[in-house]
Chains A and B, each alone.
Chain A
Amino acid sequence: MTFFTNIANIMAKYWKVFLIQGIGYTLLLSVIAVAGGAFFGSLMALAKRSKLRILKAVVNVLVEVVRGTPVLLQLYIGVFVFPMVIPRLSSLPYIYSVSIVLIINSSAYVSEIIRSGIEAVDIGQMEAARSLGLTQRTAMLSIVLPQAVKNILPALGNEFIMVVKETSLASTFFVGELMTAYLKVKGYTYLTMECLAIVGVLYFAMTFILSKLLKGMERRMKARA
């Protein structure tokens, strides 16, 4: 029973840290990561289809490395190694480096999402368009990409939900999101289980609401088609 009274006490004193700061920063970082990831991921997906072999190779290597190494490792590299290359970063708060790393990470996954979304479109669509004499560019823009978007958006929504959970790693650098809130409160109260319970419920609430929203969106998209 003390467990629940502790939780009540903690929430009474620290609700701002969890609900406003914690959730706020978590969502902020997630939106930045996926928005940036969508933009750069599209560029990377384009690069993967380009005829320039060097560009294609560089992008592929980057994607493989980013997908094949732990995000925590990438965060360490972003915070400690990037400022050596980009001096401006060393005078900025860590949240900038963290955001950059999260964007790069998301781009790699998004580029794969986009690539498979495009490949999922029946190749006959492109063949019919080219047979009419339309250019590759027009065929892509008018026929293939609009249909690919229907495949890509749900996967993108899933990526967002994954990123929400991934932001917890940024707590290593006390960036302020939900897991950082956990560390702050736990560091003072030494009530680890209670703090974990609170944070666990909040993460679950976020991902649950987001997946419900995502399902609703998917249903509406299917209906329109």
Chain B
Amino acid sequence: MLDIKNIYKNFGDLQVLKGVSTHVEKGEVVVIIGVSGSGKSTLLRCMNLLEEPTFGEVWMEGRLMTPPDPYLHREVIRASNTYKKLLSEGLDDDAAIKKIKDEDLLKERHPRVEGKEYAALLKKIYDENGIDINLGRQKMGMVFQSFNLFNNKTVRENITLAPIKIGKQRLKDAKKRGESVDKTPDDIVRAANEKAMKLLERIGLQDKADVYPSTLSGGQRQRVAIIRALAMEPDVMLFDEPTSALDPEMVGEVLDLIRDLVKDGMTSVIVTHEMGFAKEVADRVIFMHDGVIAEEGTPDEVFNHPKNPRCRDFLSKVLY
């Protein structure tokens, strides 16, 4: 469902991700672990494009979320002027492509420099496969370490804001296209509110529907943040260290909720330091180190029989 292809991410001169590829199947639970600075949060944020990858592509349900990366498409490389120049210098197809990839020779910033055909091909790839970033994000839910509930909205409004705004916009667009609509804006509002109350009941916070987030505890806020993301009915949930900012006594209630979701079959990618939890819910564990995936496998493989020395080092420090 979610395909990460050869992601590089640079912040200025600092290379944080150095060529990460993975994919997430429907219903899979992937847990990412590693030291601070290994790039795990960055990787997660690249998945819903909160960070734009410097190179590489992100595909969601078969649709391209990032701009096309020419280095991942041989036919595009072959259409470039740089390639043609290398061929004329005597290199053959494979060598030329390898040289271009290794030395980052394509002028990506100025696609016109590489020729009209090159630019046209890139455009074609995007036109055929691309998806509007907002649409893509509507299918992904993100939960942040610092909750990020909307301070100027009540709990209920936090949950219903996106469904209502986006629902109403869809109605408007459909009407503009001339399609027949069977819902009114009020229906949208009502449905959103009903959904919100149901979700709040699920976590037992229905009494807090009309208070402001500043009055809630950390654990309550994070659980509201999770159901806020769920209100959009995403196909995959991304959790960025969801319990790292919580007092210990509240970690449990949040993990319980996540466990519930996972049991219900929600595709999830979780960055966390909670190793016990990871062992319990993960289908696959990824250990990141220094911007690359250093170790990958089932929880049993990674936690009990780590092959990578760095991973072993990390685990020995973390699991005491």
Cα distance, A135 to B153, chains bound together (Å) = 18
Cα distance, A146 to B151, chains bound together (Å) = 10
Q: Cβ of B166: which chain A residues have Cβ within 8 Å of it?
A: 133-134
Is residue A187 within 8 Å, beta carbon to beta carbon, of the partner chain? no
Contact A142 B50 (CB under 8 A): no
Contact B134 A142 (CB under 8 A): no
Is residue A124 within 8 Å, beta carbon to beta carbon, of the partner chain? yes
Contact A133 B138 (CB under 8 A): yes
Contact B148 A146 (CB under 8 A): no
Partner of A133, one of B134, B146, B148: B134
Partner of B148, one of A128, A138, A142: A128
Is residue A60 within 8 Å, beta carbon to beta carbon, of the partner chain? no
Contact A125 B151 (CB under 8 A): yes
Partner of A128, one of B140, B149, B214: B149
Number of interface residues of B (CB under 8 A): 29
Give the dominant DSSP class at A's interface: helix
Q: Cβ of B40: which chain A residues have Cβ within 8 Å of it?
A: none
Interface set, chain B 143-189, CB cutoff 8 A to A = 144, 146, 148-153, 161-162, 165-166
Q: Cβ of B137: which chain A residues have Cβ within 8 Å of it?
A: 130-133
Is residue A129 within 8 Å, beta carbon to beta carbon, of the partner chain? yes
Write the chain A residue with the least CB distance to B157. Answer: A142
Q: Cβ of B136: which chain A residues have Cβ within 8 Å of it?
A: 133
Is residue A202 within 8 Å, beta carbon to beta carbon, of the partner chain? no
Q: A124-B144, A127-B50, A142-B165 are in contact. Are A132 and B232 (CB under 8 A)?
A: yes
Is residue A21 within 8 Å, beta carbon to beta carbon, of the partner chain? no
Q: Cβ of A130: which chain B residues have Cβ within 8 Å of it?
A: 50, 134, 137
Q: Cβ of B149: which chain A residues have Cβ within 8 Å of it?
A: 128
Is residue B9 within 8 Å, beta carbon to beta carbon, of the partner chain? no
Is residue B14 within 8 Å, beta carbon to beta carbon, of the partner chain? no
Interface set, chain A 118-155, CB cutoff 8 A to B = 122, 124-125, 127-135, 138, 142-143, 146-147
Q: Cβ of A129: which chain B residues have Cβ within 8 Å of it?
A: 150, 162
Q: Cβ of B142: which chain A residues have Cβ within 8 Å of it?
A: 127-128, 131-132
Cα distance, A135 to B142, chains bound together (Å) = 16
Contact B161 A133 (CB under 8 A): no
Q: Which of B135, B138, B161, B229 has the most CB of A within 10 A?
A: B161
Could you count the A-B residue pairs with CB atoms below 8 Å apart for me: how many are there? Answer: 67
Contact B144 A128 (CB under 8 A): yes
Cα distance, A225 to B150, chains bound together (Å) = 12
Q: Cβ of A225: which chain B residues have Cβ within 8 Å of it?
A: 151, 212, 214
Q: Which of A128, A133, A138 has the most CB of B within 10 A?
A: A133
Q: In the assembled complex, how far is the CB of residue A163 from the closest CB belonging to chain B, in whole angstroms?
A: 29
Is residue B141 within 8 Å, beta carbon to beta carbon, of the partner chain? yes
Number of interface residues of A (CB under 8 A): 18
Cα distance, A132 to B136, chains bound together (Å) = 10
Q: In the assembled complex, how far is the CB of residue A47 from the closest CB belonging to chain B, in whole angstroms?
A: 24
Q: Cβ of B162: which chain A residues have Cβ within 8 Å of it?
A: 129, 132-134
Q: In the assembled complex, how far is the CB of residue B138 from the closest CB belonging to chain A, in whole angstroms?
A: 3
Cα distance, A82 to B151, chains bound together (Å) = 46
Q: Using an 8 Å CB-CB cutoff, how does the interface string of B181-215 with A read, 1 for contact, 0 for none? A: 00000000000000000000000000000001010
Partner of A127, one of B144, B152, B232: B144
Is residue B228 within 8 Å, beta carbon to beta carbon, of the partner chain? yes
Q: Cβ of A125: which chain B residues have Cβ within 8 Å of it?
A: 148, 150-151
Q: In the assembled complex, how far is the CB of residue B268 from the closest CB belonging to chain A, in whole angstroms?
A: 15
Contact A143 B150 (CB under 8 A): yes
Is residue B48 within 8 Å, beta carbon to beta carbon, of the partner chain? yes
Cα distance, A133 to B170, chains bound together (Å) = 13
Partner of B50, one of A131, A133, A134, A143: A131
Cα distance, A130 to B52, chains bound together (Å) = 13
Q: In the assembled complex, how far is the CB of residue A121 from the closest CB belonging to chain B, in whole angstroms?
A: 9
Cα distance, A131 to B214, chains bound together (Å) = 21
Write the chain A residue with the least CB distance to B48. Answer: A131
Cα distance, A138 to B169, chains bound together (Å) = 11
Cα distance, A20 to B161, chains bound together (Å) = 51
Q: In the assembled complex, how far is the CB of residue B153 from the closest CB belonging to chain A, in whole angstroms?
A: 8
Cα distance, A132 to B228, chains bound together (Å) = 9
Q: Cβ of B144: which chain A residues have Cβ within 8 Å of it?
A: 124, 127-128
Q: A128-B144, A142-B161, A142-B165 are in contact. Are A133 and B150 (CB under 8 A)?
A: no
Q: Cβ of B141: which chain A residues have Cβ within 8 Å of it?
A: 131-132
Q: List 18 A-B contacts (CB under 8 A).
A: A124-B144, A125-B150, A127-B142, A128-B149, A128-B225, A131-B48, A131-B137, A131-B141, A132-B137, A132-B142, A132-B161, A132-B228, A132-B229, A133-B135, A134-B161, A143-B152, A143-B153, A225-B151
Further 5 A-B residue pairs, CB within 8 A, beyond A125-B151, A128-B144, A131-B140: A124-B144, A128-B225, A133-B136, A133-B139, A142-B161
Leading 6 A-B pairs by shortest Cβ distance: A133-B138, A128-B148, A131-B142, A124-B148, A132-B162, A133-B137
Give residues in B with beta carbon < 8 Å to A: 48, 50, 134-142, 144, 146, 148-153, 161-162, 165-166, 212, 214, 225, 228-229, 232
